[in-house]
Each structure stands twice: as C-alpha cells, then as structure tokens.
C-alpha cells in the first residue's frame, strides 16, 4: 500500500469518526490514555477523567484535556460534570474486584443514570472484562450462558446490564487480558521483589489476550458504528497454552522462564472467541498472532 493510499484511508476513517464529535473517557488509565491519543490524532474532541488528581495533571500536561471524577459521588453533583456533555462516553474504570471492591455496578449505574438525566450523551461504551466467563469451559462467545454463581460474575453482569439498558445506544466490549507497551507478558509471571518464585498453576490452560492497539481499534470501531444493546468480545486469535506463551514471552526479553506446576487438575479449557467483533464491526486485528508480536 502506498503512503498516499494509506493517508487517504486514514482521512476517510477520521471523517467518519469526526461525525461523532466528542468523546468522554471515564477512567483514563493505561488503556484510556492510548485511546485518547489515538482519537485526538483523528481530530476528535476528547475529555478524559481520572479519580487521581496527579493523573489529571499529567494528562493535561500531555495535551489530553482532563478533569477529576471520583466515584461513587452524589447524583446531583455527578450530572453537572462536563463529561456528560460529550456525545459518546467510554467507561474505562476498573472494577478492582481483586482489591475487594464490590461497588463497581453501583458506579456504572450512577454514570448511566447521569447520562440519561443530562440527555446529551448519545452512546455509551462499557469496557467490561472476559472475567465474566468465569466458570465456563470450552469455546465461549457472547451468546454463552453465563455462570452467575460467583460474586465477580454477578457484579460484572449487573454493570453490563445497566449500560445495555441505556435508552439511546449502549454497548459492551468484554476485553481479554491486556498486553502492550509497559505490559509485556514476559514480565507478568516474574516473582515480586523480595519474594521466592514458586511454581505456577494452569500451565495447559489457553491464553485469552488482546494487544492495546487492537483494544483501541475495537473501541474506535464501536464509536464509529454505534451499535445498540450489543456485546462484543475483544480477544486475539492466539490461544496457545500459558506454558508455551509465557515461556516464549520471557525468552523474548531474555528473562528466566516462569516455572509451572505439573499438576493439571482444575485447569480451565476456556477459549474466548473474538469472531463477532471481526465480522459485525468488520475489524481486522493488528496483532491477531500474539506469539509473532513477541
């Protein structure tokens, strides 16, 4: 493809994106920042939020217009926030379930209700997690019946339902494990400083991952197409075993490979499909093969 052809394609894509005017990114962390930069490069107006004031300052210094927003918050105060003047909002806050937080769905409900009340937001995209498939085995897609016996799955499902009930356009992107800049998988399983490296489990379990650039690409596709009440998985085609993948990742960085336990009991066989996003959104992955990316 020539440089001129590539530029024309980018301009065409940008013009479609610009038709959606402005985007608010609620919870502008590692992924949200990459999304903000990409949207700004395409000429869109972006307003980012973060609960941490120092992160707000850093975003503003980097040219990303940002304001503080800490949840949960008084509903009357929340609806006055500038983020609800944006045409589309991307909810990228982390559930923090591993930290013992249980108020994720409450926060999402607050955001959806504020957008509904303000009446300016046309489209809400929730960045959910494929952790919602916990307890399922084999091939899994967006139509799979969820196993809602765990609190984690219940909370994630409740949050998704709030977004899907948004009266205009609400959709959900269930992202697999995120990798990319500053998140190289070769470092994931290294022992923490001062701790002894111990054997890790689930060596034969398949990986379900997605590169940051493809996560951003899928979000931009959702902004462009504005699907209503739809759920999509964001996951690459790479589903080799954890043993194979993380050993290759460690080798790519010349690091000592992680040690896995030889016990295979209770190992998951879950393989999450990303076919719907590719077909419905006509999205072509930048990094479909995450072994090659290493």
pLDDT in tens, 67-105: 999 999 999 999 999 999 999 999 999 998 888 889 999
What's the mean per-residue pLDDT of the chain?
90
Which tokens in the block code for residue 99? 């930290």
Mean pLDDT value across residues 202-229:
96
Task: Identify the CA nearest to 187 among candidates 245, 240, 246.
Answer: 246
Report the distance separating Cα 248 and Cα 256, nearest Å. Answer: 11
pLDDT tens-place string over residues 1-49: 444 444 444 444 444 555 568 999 999 999 999 999 999 999 999 999 9
Report the distance separating Cα 279 and Cα 171, nearest Å. Answer: 16
Which tokens in the block code for residue 13? 């894509």
Mean pLDDT value across residues 262-269:
73
Q: What is the pLDDT of residue 5?
A: 44
Beta bridge mates, 89: 24, 124
Helix, strand, or coil (residue 263): coil
How many CB atoms within 10 Å of residue 42? Answer: 18
Q: What is the pLDDT of residue 292?
A: 95
Report the distance separating Cα 104 and Cα 48, nearest Å. Answer: 19
Of 55-69, 87-101, 109-123, least confident by mean pLDDT is: 87-101
294 has pLDDT over 90: yes
Between 261 and 187, the more confident residue is: 187
Rounded to two decimals, the pTM is: 0.91
Report the distance separating Cα 244 and Cα 257, nearest Å. Answer: 10
- The residue length of the chain stands at 294
Task: Identify the CA nearest to 29 among candidates 7, 58, 61, 2.
Answer: 58
Q: What is the pLDDT of residue 9?
A: 44
Report the distance separating Cα 241 and Cα 205, nearest Å. Answer: 5
Pair type for strands 177-179 and 209-211: parallel
Cα–Cα distances (Å) from 125 to 52, 57, 174, 193, 198, in that order, read: 22, 25, 10, 37, 39
Report the distance separating Cα 258 and Cα 168, nearest Å. Answer: 47
pLDDT tens-place string over residues 228-237: 999 999 999 9
Q: What is the pLDDT of residue 101?
A: 86
Mean pLDDT value across residues 152-172:
96
b/e map of 119-157 (b: 16 or more CB within 10 Å)?
A: eebbbbbbbbbbbbbbebeeebebebebebeeebbebbe
Report the distance separating Cα 259 and Cα 254, nearest Å. Answer: 15
């Amino acid at each position: 493809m020539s440089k001129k052809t590539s530029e024309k394609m980018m301009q065409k894509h940008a013009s479609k994106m610009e038709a959606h005017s402005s985007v608010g990114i609620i919870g502008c962390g590692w992924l949200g920042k990459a999304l903000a930069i990409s949207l700004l490069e395409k000429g869109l107006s972006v307003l980012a939020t973060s609960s941490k004031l120092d992160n707000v300052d850093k975003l503003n210094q980097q040219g990303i217009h940002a304001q503080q927003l800490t949840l949960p918050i008084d509903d009357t105060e929340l609806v006055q926030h500038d983020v609800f003047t944006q045409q589309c909002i991307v909810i990228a806050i982390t559930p923090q379930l591993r930290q013992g937080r249980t108020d994720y769905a409450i926060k999402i409900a607050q955001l959806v209700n504020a957008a509904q009340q303000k009446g300016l937001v046309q489209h809400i995209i929730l960045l959910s997690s494929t952790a919602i498939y916990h307890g399922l085995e084999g091939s899994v897609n967006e139509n799979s019946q969820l196993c809602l016996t765990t609190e984690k799955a219940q909370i994630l499902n409740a949050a998704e339902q709030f977004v899907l009930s948004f009266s205009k356009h609400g959709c959900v992107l269930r992202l697999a494990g995120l990798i990319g800049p500053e998140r190289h998988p070769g470092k994931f399983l290294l022992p923490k400083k001062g701790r002894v490296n111990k054997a890790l489990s689930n060596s034969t379990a398949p990986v379900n991952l997605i590169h940051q650039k493809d996560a951003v690409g899928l979000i931009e596709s959702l902004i462009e197409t504005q699907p209503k009440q739809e759920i999509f998985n964001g996951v690459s085609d790479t589903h080799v075993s954890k043993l194979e993948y993380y050993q290759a990742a460690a080798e790519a960085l010349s690091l000592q490979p992680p040690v896995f336990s030889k016990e295979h009991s209770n190992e998951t066989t879950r393989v999450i499909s990303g076919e719907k996003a590719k077909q419905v959104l006509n999205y072509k992955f930048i990094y479909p093969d995450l072994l090659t990316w290493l």
